[in-house]
Chain A
C-alpha cells in the first residue's frame, strides 16, 4: 500500500484475508463481515470507515476474537505475528489480548472497572501478562498515564474512574491499552463521544504514539474527517464489505466507488454554504435482505444491469482497490 516501504520489507503487523463473520439469528444468517481483506503495516494507521451496520465494529471484534454468540467467524484468516488468529485457541488469545493486541472502546467504561482504583486496574493488567514487581508495575503505570497527557499522574493513580472526566477516562483506557506496548491497537470510535477540543488532544497523542513506538493502529470511525488527518490508509465499508481501499490521498481525493463519492459529497464542509447537500438517496439496506449483486446498487447513481452480479474487489488504480463494476475514473467528475 505504502510506496515508501520496499517490497522486501518486513511483513505487515496484521493481514486480514477474506474474513467472514456471520450472525446466526432466528430471522436468518446476517453476514456482518463478508470477504474483508486488508493489511496494517508497522507503525501505520488504518482508518476503517463506515456508517452504522456496515460491519466495521464487528471486523474489530473479530480481530480480537471477541464476537459473541450467535456470531461466529465463518471463514478467512487473520494473520498476526506469524499465526492465524482465527485458529488460535482461547488460551492463546487471552495471552495476546491486552498484551500484544489491545482494544480501545467508544465508551471507556467498557474497559474500566468502576469500583477499582486506576492503579489497581493498571497493575493487575501488567501482572496478568508478565512477572513484574508491584512497584515496577506502578512505576510503569505512572509513566504511561503521563505519556497520554494526564496531569499529576501520581495522584490520579489513586482515583476511581468516576472521578475523571469523559476525556480523561478515555485517556486512562488508552494508557491501559499501551501498558504492554502492543504491536496492534484496535480503536473503536474512541473519540466519538468527546468534545472537539478534547478529541483534538487525543488524536494528537495517538499520532505521536504511532510515530514513536511503531504501534499499528486500526481506527474504526464513521467520521471521514477524523481519519483524513490521522490515517495512512482507508478502508470504506458498506453492508459488511470493503467498498474501497487505498491510501488516504487516493481514497479521499480520487474516490473510485460511488458510495465513497456519495459519502464525501454529503460532508457539509464540502458543499457550498446554504446549498442543498449532495445526499445519498435511500438508506442502508438491512443485511438480512440484501439485493443480489452489489449491495449499493439501489442507492447508486451509476448502477446498471451488470451491478446485479457480485462485483469483485479489484485493483482499479495502482494500490487502490474498489468493489465496483462502474467506478469513477474521470477525475473531473469527482473533483466537483
Chain B
C-alpha cells in the first residue's frame, strides 16, 4: 500500500495543518472458537476462526477545518473506521496520528487531552444517552471530571452548551425520554461540545431524523463549524447530505477506500464504477417516473469478500485482471484518487466510463 500522498492540490480548505493522519490502518474482528470448536479443530476438523476484515489498509488524512464525508453501504467499514479515528477502537494494524503524534505512544495526560479533542456523535441518540441521568448531568459530567469547569460554574456552563446546541436550558432537569428525536440529537451534540473538542466524528448522526428536523441539525453542524472552527469526519450513507456538507468525500466498499476526491469532483466526474453506480442509484427529487438504475447483485459478505477488486462481481466493466489483482488507490487527477484497473488502460485516460 502506498503511503499517504501529501498533495497541496486539494483546494483552499486543505491548507490547514493535519489533524488526523490514518496510515495503513486495518481492523479485523474474529469470532473466537468455542470449546467444542477448539477440540474439533485440534482433531483436524476443517474449522477455523472466522475473520472479518472490517477495514483493510486505509490511508486517510483530515486537515484542520475540513469536513470529510465518508460514504458507503452497510458492512463497508465506515463506522469502524470512524470509531478508530475517534480513538474509541484500537486498530489491528497501522497507525493513527493525532496532530502528527501517535496516540498510543502518548502519556496519560497528553493522551487524555487528545481523547477529549476528538468526540463522536452517534446515530441513535437514545442508545447513546444514559436514560437515568438528567440532561444537565449528561452534558455536565465530562467537563466537570476533566476540570474544564468548576462545580460552582457548572450550571452556567451547561446552560451555555445547551443554548449553543439549540436547546432551551429550562429543560435541563428533564430526562432523555422526554425529548423528541431531533432534540435528543441536540443533547448528544451538546454533550460532545461540552469538552471543547476540535474534531467531531458524526456517525450517521441525522439518518434517523425526519427531513425537516434533519435540515435543522445539519444547519446546526454547519453553524458550529464556522463558530468553533471544528473539523468533521461525517459518516453517512446519504449522498445528498454528504454532498451538501463536505469539502472532500471518501467512498468505501467492503473495507477499502475506492475513491477519494473533492466533493464537486466526486459528483461531477466520479471515476470508480462503484461510485458511479452509487450515484446512479440515489433517488433524486427531480426524477419523474424514471427507470431506476440498478447495480446487479448484492453486497458480498465481508466474511468472504471477492478476490481482486472487491467490486468486480457487480461491476459492468470488470475484466480478467479485476478478478485476480487488487487495484491500487492511485491518483487520477490532482487530489482525486481511485482504486480501479480501468485507469491503467491506455484508451481510458481516467475519464468516467
Contact = CB atoms under 8 A, between A and B. Distances in A.
Given A196-B237, A201-B295, A228-B288, A269 B212 contact: no
Q: Which of A199, A225, A270 has the most CB of B within 10 A?
A: A225
Interface in B279-297: 280-295
Contacts of B240: 225, 267-269
Interface in B157-196: 180-183
Interface stretch (B36-44, B82-90, B214-222): B214-222
A266 B289 contact: no
B285 A276 contact: no
Interface string B299-310: 100000000000
Nearest to A54: B210
B299 A249 contact: no
Q: Kindly state the interface size class of chain B when it binds its partner.
A: 35 or more
B16 to A, nearest CB: 17
Interface in B221-270: 222-223, 237, 239-241, 243-245, 263
Contacts of B282: 196, 225
Contacts of B280: 200
Main secondary structure of the interface of A (DSSP, over half): helix
A225 B285 CA distance: 4
A17 B103 CA distance: 64
Interface stretch (A4-12, A133-141, A279-287, A321-329): A279-287
B288 A201 contact: no
A209 to B, nearest CB: 12
Interface residues of A, number: 47
Contact of A249 (B210, B212, B218, B288): B288
Contacts of A274: 222, 244-245
B211 A263 contact: yes
A269 B244 contact: yes
B127 to A, nearest CB: 17
Contact of A228 (B211, B277, B284, B294): B284
A301 to B, nearest CB: 13
B281 A200 contact: yes
Contacts of B286: 228
Q: Which of B237, B245, B282, B283 has the most CB of A within 10 A?
A: B283
A284 B216 CA distance: 13
B74 interface: yes
Interface in A35-56: 51-52
Nearest to A271: B244
Interface of A: 51-52, 165-168, 195-201, 203-204, 207, 222-226, 228-230, 232, 248-249, 252, 262-271, 273-274, 276-280, 283-284
12 contacts: A195-B299, A197-B294, A200-B280, A200-B281, A225-B283, A228-B286, A229-B284, A265-B215, A267-B211, A280-B216, A283-B180, A284-B212
